[in-house]
Structures are given as structure tokens and as C-alpha cells.
């Protein structure tokens, strides 16, 4: 695999998703909701891509969670109940990246609320996933 290609192996994506999940917790303890939100978006994106790759999905460069969810729902319709979470968390990617959006006043409480729902979302895709395990 060349440096510019992303892995097509689902487990590679899951390993990085787990790292991002732990980064959320670290950033929350450091009172950095923008970074925690960014890593929440990143973790969910990678878990969704893992889920889809395991089902033969062709990897695409896409970051919006609700678009990935469109594909995931075809394999597990119960994931549809997490659409609002995906819509909200997709926005966190931009808050961390663009200075004009930092005025949205994101709080750790906002992220913690999403984190609880995100845990349910991940467990729906991967029932055996241990989200409390530190890496």
C-alpha cells in the first residue's frame, strides 16, 4: 500500500477509531470541548467506515456522518435512530477546523451528552466493542 492510500482493512480503521474514542475522554478532562467534539466526529466516522468495509463497501473519502449513515442503514435499519446524532456530530469536525465557528460555544456537557448516545450507536454496530477500555 502506498503512503497516499487508506487501508481497506476494517480492523485498521477500528484501531484508529478506538484511539480517537480515548482522545475524546482526554480532551474532556482537559476542558477542551472543541477537540473532544472533533475526535468524537473522527471516531464515529471511522467506526462507520469499519462497519461498511466489513460489508464490502468501497472506501470513499467522505467525512459527513449522515452520508455514511445512509449506506450503513442499508445493512442495519436500526441505525436510522442515530441520524440526529450523526447530523450534530458532523458539525464538530468544522468547529475545530474553522476559527469563525468557535463562537458556537460548544461545551463539555454537549459532548458528554453526545458521547453517551455515540456509545449506544457504536454498540449497535459492534456489540462486542469495549468502549471503556483504555489503549
Q: Which of 92, 115, 95, 105 is nearest to 28 (CA)?
A: 115
Question: Tens digits of per-residue pLDDT, 71-101?
Answer: 999 999 999 999 999 999 998 876 555 555 4
Compute the mean pLDDT over every residue in the chain, rounded to the nearest whole number: 88
Displacement of CA 98 from its chain's centroid (Å): 19
In this prediction the pTM is 0.88
| Fold observed for domain 10-125 | 1.20.120
Question: Tens digits of per-residue pLDDT, 27-57?
Answer: 999 999 999 999 999 999 999 999 999 999 9
Close Cβ partners of 103 (under 8 Å, ≥ 6 residues apart) = none
Query: ∠ CA 46-49-50 to the nearest 5 degrees?
Result: 85
Q: Residues of the chain with pLDDT > 90: what percent?
A: 72
Query: Higher pLDDT residue, 99 or 66?
Result: 66
Extract the C-alpha cell encoding 113.
Answer: 451528552
Amino acid at each position: 500500500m502506498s503512503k497516499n492510500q487508506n487501508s481497506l482493512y476494517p480492523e485498521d480503521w477500528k484501531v484508529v477509531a478506538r484511539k480517537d474514542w480515548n482522545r475524546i475522554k482526554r480532551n474532556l478532562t482537559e476542558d477542551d470541548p472543541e477537540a473532544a467534539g472533533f475526535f468524537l466526529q473522527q471516531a464515529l466516522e471511522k467506526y462507520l467506515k469499519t462497519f461498511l468495509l466489513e460489508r464490502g463497501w468501497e472506501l470513499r473519502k467522505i467525512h459527513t456522518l449522515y452520508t455514511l449513515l445512509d449506506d450503513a442503514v442499508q445493512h442495519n435499519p436500526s441505525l436510522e435512530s442515530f441520524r440526529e446524532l450523526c447530523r450534530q456530530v458532523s458539525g464538530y469536525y468544522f468547529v475545530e477546523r474553522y476559527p469563525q465557528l468557535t463562537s458556537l460555544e460548544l461545551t463539555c456537557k454537549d459532548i458528554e451528552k453526545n458521547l453517551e448516545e455515540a456509545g449506544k450507536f457504536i454498540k449497535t454496530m459492534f456489540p462486542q466493542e469495549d468502549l471503556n477500555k483504555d489503549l
